[in-house]
Chain A
């Protein structure tokens, strides 16, 4: 198990994939620099809005799902495709153990990579910014002062939740279909970007919504007015005091249980190669 764990970590940090990840993560940092360059007019509210809009829309709604899709689809799928899974499932480990070890290792790598990206984005957006002066000129709508470093901690808190939730969903997709990337992309666009932005009750079935709930608890409920949800719906979609942590953990447990059952029941061999 330990060998498989380290092997998976090394695989996750392999050259080509890491290049793609670096490019993906460079995008939000470039945006942060752009925003710094073209400073939003006004005071702390506008700067706060720019920071959180970019973090929520770009980092948590686009880059994070894409990263999880890349790694989740490769967790078992790429081994099946390359037929190397045969070496892992013909050892004395149970298939479910193989899956869980690989999932844990991949999730840890993703948390680390995405954590670095969030930190880099934060540094690009905040370092050199006179937050104190901005706060003196006027506070946030709730009357509180903006504390970017404390917000960063909030994002760090939500990060592992987002990683395991997205990774679990995309792992399940990769076990259910051989066209996992197409279906996962459709899922990201239709469910996590479009549906989670629509002011409808079905929004609660998205991971993004649950993450926002957690962030609203970890950081501030002020974040909710960035989502542009009508006030009438706000209580339904984001009830006060309700975090998305428990629902997300439940979802991860349910999805991973399904994954373990699937991986144990299915042969996971590329059919053509074993027909002889």
Chain B
């Protein structure tokens, strides 16, 4: 029984906090709201690779850091705190997908390129159907994989970090089963249309017009593409949950610090229970969220039966926690909280964006209801 971070994980978290604090400035996200979307510059990307973070949860033999999903989540939490563009979490999820593909060539070639920072990869999953998740996917991959060629046609939406991606892992239907197919950004028939998120993050619309890829581009898990896709979806979801936790926690910290300093009516506003009790409620939400996140990460690593439900729980809970924490941040800072200069609205924008990414709270509660409510007995 040991359900706290190891000394090594704590050390890595501290290094990440310092490094990202020095090398990335939240102003870049603020500027991106009025300008093109924010991306991670090449030199910082190279540094993240040198730190061993781009493949932190991949096998050491494949050039990764040999750590588990939780360690990846801890780093993403720091990225959330630092308002780093989402490219980092997107690539961690992509790395997980590639590493777990049955195709040795993917692991040897693609993964090395990703971990070294030479290739940026993203996941193109969601489409425009008003909901989320693998079950909504319609994009078709046709052709028999024995023919050695697959043809993909259709449109993906909200693809994270698409404008800097060299490779898209595209979720598609193939022979009635779901799968992931690796598509080069410069393949013929690929069109990338820029979009932007509320927080200035880079997302794109990906149009595939009869794109031909070799059958070897199929990512599978022991011959089963659908299981791999569902697993990847959960890994990606838990990483976004970690990002939300980062926003919630840093905003709670900023707001508590402010409540200790800001004096009105002759005393710090944090001594008023209308202020302190709201902050205490946020702390409870954050602690429950952190507990759910750790539980979900461990369940994924251990491949426990309830892992997808726990991931849904963490995402559903942290969606609301991050929104509540950042909205409270605006409110409890008073006038200054409503200003452009304060970083709180950047976290609010990020929280709102992430909460609507890979499933909102209702969506994930539905997943849990299907898991819990309908069991026999």
Query: Do they bind each other?
Result: no
Q: Which residues of A contact B (CB under 8 A)?
A: none
